[in-house]
Structure 1
């Protein structure tokens, strides 16, 4: 699963990186993106005859859904079933996008405590998650989902799922219509996976109201246990 991530690069940087024309309406950085938040996406646009940097509500809402609340349950699409799922297959065939990210979060329970971890490229380079988009309602609200796949390598110690990450040389094929599902959905190679590190971070990221670069800092050191009380 991918239920929380960070995307902090500027509009100008994302335009450059993805060779896209921005149609964003004022979107700032977020170190704690949560479901239903507006997020930057990159997609092909027939009306602009170009690749555009756009904004979408995180949580895909199929055209037949009664209201936007359906999107809260559809922030992720499983790569194993996305080509046949009634909710996701139409977008997989014709409406694919890239979701710019710096990294994503997962939590590991240790007894009664949960430790937050941040997965990100060790060299600070950007990530592009494989995404889908759809337009909902008479106003054409743009919504999106992030594809997930089975976790690989050391990432399995944190969670059994991870976002489907696309290297730069696969962006064009993903954004185009058609293509062979097996090729489009193949996971990272071991070398590409090795570039991602797992960092423990502050527990504050667990609250969606918290935001800012401090969320990516290491957790504070554990306080020593109090000395046992003595009777004399």
Structure 2
């Protein structure tokens, strides 16, 4: 699965890489976590980088917490699952990152590793997005939406990251990995025919990826600082 990632590349470099502009100011994330608002490019606005909530809330959901269990979608079944099928057909997105974390089992615990390109360049993970309108009777929404002058609650836009089989870099750490799109495949993922883009949901070869151990401080989503991406020594 993909449960944490980073995006600390300077905004101007992200904009140049994806030929899109941030809709609003974005702060670096060293430990992006589910339920946070994070940068994506939607198929409906390819020149904009917008922040959507991580954890897809299907349009038919009765409550927002459904999204807590939908941070990832499996490539093998994404077209069949009720939660994802409609979004796969109509609402695809690029989830922007410059690294992600996986946890390898040890004899006593789990050791976090950061996976990134050798030069820490930004990349896109294949994602789906959805728009959900909270029921009018729902109260106490907090971060899930904001009210309008007439008392209505604004829709929430959210996303999920698609995962696939691991490559040789990830396999020692986990049995799933995020779908990293080749740069030349990004436009096709956003605008291609739903019947054709399934071929893009494959493991990234990994020849230019590296995985290295990082501090267990990344286990706590409340920690979000540059030191989290630094390599640490692990006992043999």
TM-aligned CA deviation for residue 154 of structure 1: 3.1
Number of residue pairs matched? 215
What are the ranges of 5 or more consecutive residues in structure 1 without an aligned counterpart? 223-232
Contact 2:57 2:64 in 1 (8 A): yes
TM-score (ref. length: structure 2) = 0.86
1:60 aligned onto 2:56: yes
Work out the CA distance in 2 between the residues paired with 1:146 and 1:116.
19
Residues 12-161 of structure 1: pairs in structure 2 closer than 5 A: 12-24=12-24, 26-45=25-44, 50-137=46-133, 139-161=154-176
Work out the CA distance in 2 between the residues paired with 1:2 and 1:141.
22
CA deviation digits over 1:2-58, x for unaligned, max 9?
00111112333222211113323x321110011101100012336xxx532111000
Work out the CA distance in 2 between the residues paired with 1:172 and 1:77.
20
Cα distance change, pair 113–186 in 1 and its aligned pair in 2 (3 A)? closer
Aligned residues: CA RMSD: 1.6
TM-aligned CA deviation for residue 221 of structure 1: 6.3
TM-aligned CA deviation for residue 103 of structure 1: 0.8
Work out the CA distance in 1 between the residues paired with 2:172 and 2:105.
11
TM-score (ref. length: structure 1) = 0.87
Cα distance change, pair 203–140 in 1 and its aligned pair in 2 (3 A)? same
* Greater Cα radius of gyration, structure 1 or 2: 1
Contact 2:164 2:203 in 1 (8 A): yes
Work out the CA distance in 2 between the residues paired with 1:195 and 1:221.
23
What are the ranges of 5 or more consecutive residues in structure 2 without an aligned counterpart? 134-152
User: Equivalent residue for 2:221?
Assistant: 208
